[in-house]
Structure 1
Amino acid sequence: MFDFLSSIGGAIMTPLYYFVSGIILGWHWLFEQIGMDPDAGWTWVLSIVGLTITIRAMLIPLFVKQINSSRNMQLIQPQLQELRKKYGHDRERFAQEQMKLFQETGTNPFSSCMPLLLQMPIFFALFRVIDQAARKGAEGAKGFLSGEQAESLANAQWLGGKIADTFLSSEHIETKIIAMVMVIAMCATQFFTQKQLMAKNMPPEALNGPFAQQQKILLYVLPVVFAVSGVAFPLGVLVYWTTSNLWTMGQQFWVIRNNPAPGTPAFKAKQDRDRAKGKLVQDDPIAEAKAEAEEQKAKRQQPKKKTRDQRRKTTGPQPKPTKPAKEDPDE
């Protein structure tokens, strides 16, 4: 049974080994052409960074869908709360109405996890490529890696530590220090990326719903998970994941700054920037309605000046003053 499952896993992962190793070797060849030492640690580290950039660039369309779906999920929180109040006693009806709302608004509650889920096979493939090279040398070459390249990867040193070593497996203090620093950096970038989303791009009413509770759980659970498992990752894998987190942080910052969800602190900040630049804010219909109401109110409070003829037309002709009648002296 174990052999059967192992063969299935190998059939699934083998194409990924070729995919991951092919991208790494492509970047490695590029750095070698500009004069870098093919066996140097920096050459292999930058090749892994190149792998990260390539994968994340391929995931940009999916990331855009994730942002739009997350944004919709935040905006429909008041409607979800109304459905929960109305159908909270009937779970089946509530599920039907909730699914109907998702379909009407084009919201997919699972899309926020898709980039992470799609990266995990790449993550494990990279882990196996580096780990097998470290354990078996030339015999552990996977994908497009030759035996010589696997030996080079296994022995490459970066900042005093071997790229293929982990915090647990290495006996060198330099490798342990670098690994611990990378684990902290990986967890910190994961935390601040999630914190950035919650603090800047979630409306106040969405901070109290189930979606917000899920985000809060992920905010603290994911860094802990990565911290516990990170001590078993090779340095090269830690480089990949930290670079991916930095990419996510920068990409998310750009999206939140330029296309924030209405009613959020980021949206208010964008409105302030647009007003300072003299631009009209047209993204928030609620804000537009308020601005129009204020404008109409101001017009009512400050009527236009009218000419004398206009005032006469408005108020009508004024009656002429009558002289008091003279008293009759005979009376």
Structure 2
Amino acid sequence: MNPLYPIEWAVAWLMVKFHAMLSVFMDPDAGLTWVLSIVGLTVVVRTLIIPLFVRQIRASRAMQMVSPELQAVQKKYKGKTDQASKQKMAEETMAIYKDAGASPFSSCLPMLLQMPIFFGLFRVLFYKLPEAAEGAGFGPLTPELAQSARNSAFIGNVTISDSFLSPGDGQLTTRIIAGIIIACMCAVTFFTQKSLTMKNMPKAALEGPMASTQKMMLYMLPFIYVITGPGMPIGVLIYWLTTNVWTFGQQYIVIRATPTPGSDAARERHDRINAKRERKGLEPLDFTPPKKVSAEPEPEQAIRVQPPAKNKGGKKLSDEEKLERAREAREKAAEERRRAQEAAGETPAPKPSGASALNKGAKKKRKK
């Protein structure tokens, strides 16, 4: 039993329902009607997975934001091959993912959910549509509707079932249309990935293995379209291009509304808010993040006490220097006594000169 049968049936049903609605004011046998039916199918699918897409953007942002912490853990356990170290490294890595709300699986979930729908549409256009056109209807896709979808051309003789490798009646026109669609897919995917990894990430997160992987995907995804696109029917390429344009627009809205702190997108949002406040005559807001205050008190630094020196110069004084300092001390004491006598109203003794004082001292010594 084909596991994609329910998805193929749902894809065919949505195409038929959109075709019926568009046929009210458009030609039911026109190729453009069937092209817009595929676009409507894409819109329904992408609308249903909007919550998953928002979660994907947040998960991708969180994965890059924790890249420096993951590098620190890897460096911590580098060269340790014992089982205990491996287990502790895995536990610390999962703790970082949990605290940041990051999940490697969440970033891939929308793409994984779209893959069955993508392959279901491929099988409907490549296998079920020719079989139904030959008389074997497939669910809601009757032989009449299948013939209309298979033979309705929207540009020249190009139909939604033709491909670059199987151009049908369109030949060169089919290949040109397929090439243009593939080129548009590559361009839209490139700018989508660049906006996510460059504009919406702070500079600190643009380093390390995770950032290198994102930069590699920036060029690998368009290259995958170049390899696989030529074998896909035009209808599948239209679905692919529509979902890529939807992704670009949806991502633009999410990043513009909730950018990553510290990124170029966040600075642009702050500038828009302050410009709007300036037009209203309001003061600009300061979006500078507050500095983190550690809950643990910082250790007090030891105070170095300089031991007192024995003398001012830090060297042993000579006898002449000691005598000179003693004279200065006596003169200072005599000056203080004289000022005290003046303050008390007494007549102070005349201040002896340096020579007379020395002679007086010498006479006292001779008398002894």
TM-score between the two structures when normalised by the length of structure 2: 0.72
Gaps of at least 5 residues in structure 2 are 81-85, 278-282, 292-341, 349-368
How big is the shift at 1:246?
Answer: 0.3
* Match of residue 289 from structure 1: 290
Write out per-residue CA displacement over residues 87-138 of structure 1, whole angstroms, 9 at most, x where no aligned residue.
Answer: 2334443222111221233211121111111111111111111112554323
Task: Describe how 1:11-26 pairs up with structure 2 within 5 A.
Answer: 12-26=3-17
The letter of the residue matching 1:22 is W
Write out per-residue CA displacement over residues 199-228 of structure 1, whole angstroms, 9 at most, x where no aligned residue.
Answer: 211111111122212211211111111111
Give the 4+ runs in structure 1 shifted more than 6 A.
Answer: none
The letter of the residue matching 1:38 is P
The letter of the residue matching 2:238 is V
* Match of residue 186 from structure 1: 185
* Match of residue 62 from structure 2: 72
2:49 aligned with 1:54, yes or no? no
Write out per-residue CA displacement over residues 128-154 of structure 1, whole angstroms, 9 at most, x where no aligned residue.
Answer: 111125543234643421111111111
Report if the CA contact (8 A) 1:77-1:206 is conserved: yes
Cα distance in structure 2, aligned partners of 1:227 and 1:182 = 11
2:40 aligned with 1:41, yes or no? no
Structure 1 range deviating more: 229-238 or 193-202: 193-202
2:141 aligned residue (119, 141, 145): 145
How big is the shift at 1:256?
Answer: 1.0
Cα distance in structure 2, aligned partners of 1:74 and 1:59 = 23
Structure 1 range deviating more: 149-158 or 86-95: 86-95
Structure 1 range deviating more: 66-75 or 47-56: 66-75
SS in 2 for 1:277: helix
Cα distance in structure 1, aligned partners of 2:17 and 2:284 = 47
Write out per-residue CA displacement over residues 7-64 of structure 1, whole angstroms, 9 at most, x where no aligned residue.
Answer: 3xx1x1110011111111111111012x211111010000000001000000101011
2:270 aligned with 1:271, yes or no? yes
The number of residues matched between the two structures is 286
The letter of the residue matching 2:99 is E
The letter of the residue matching 2:61 is R
Cα distance in structure 2, aligned partners of 1:84 and 1:266 = 30
Larger Rg: 2
TM-score between the two structures when normalised by the length of structure 1: 0.80
Task: Describe how 1:1-331 pairs up with structure 2 within 5 A.
Answer: 7=1, 10=2, 12-33=3-24, 35-90=25-80, 91-133=86-128, 135-136=130-131, 137-139=133-135, 141-160=137-156, 161-171=158-168, 172-278=171-277, 287-289=288-290
The letter of the residue matching 1:81 is Q
Structure 1 range deviating more: 187-196 or 90-99: 90-99
Report if the CA contact (8 A) 2:19-2:37 is conserved: yes
Gaps of at least 5 residues in structure 1 are 1-6, 291-324
Cα distance in structure 2, aligned partners of 1:288 and 1:183 = 43
How big is the shift at 1:262?
Answer: 0.7
* Overall identity of the aligned pairs, in %: 44
Report if the CA contact (8 A) 1:200-1:256 is conserved: no
The letter of the residue matching 2:117 is I
How big is the shift at 1:198?
Answer: 1.5
The letter of the residue matching 2:197 is M
Cα distance in structure 1, aligned partners of 2:62 and 2:139 = 41
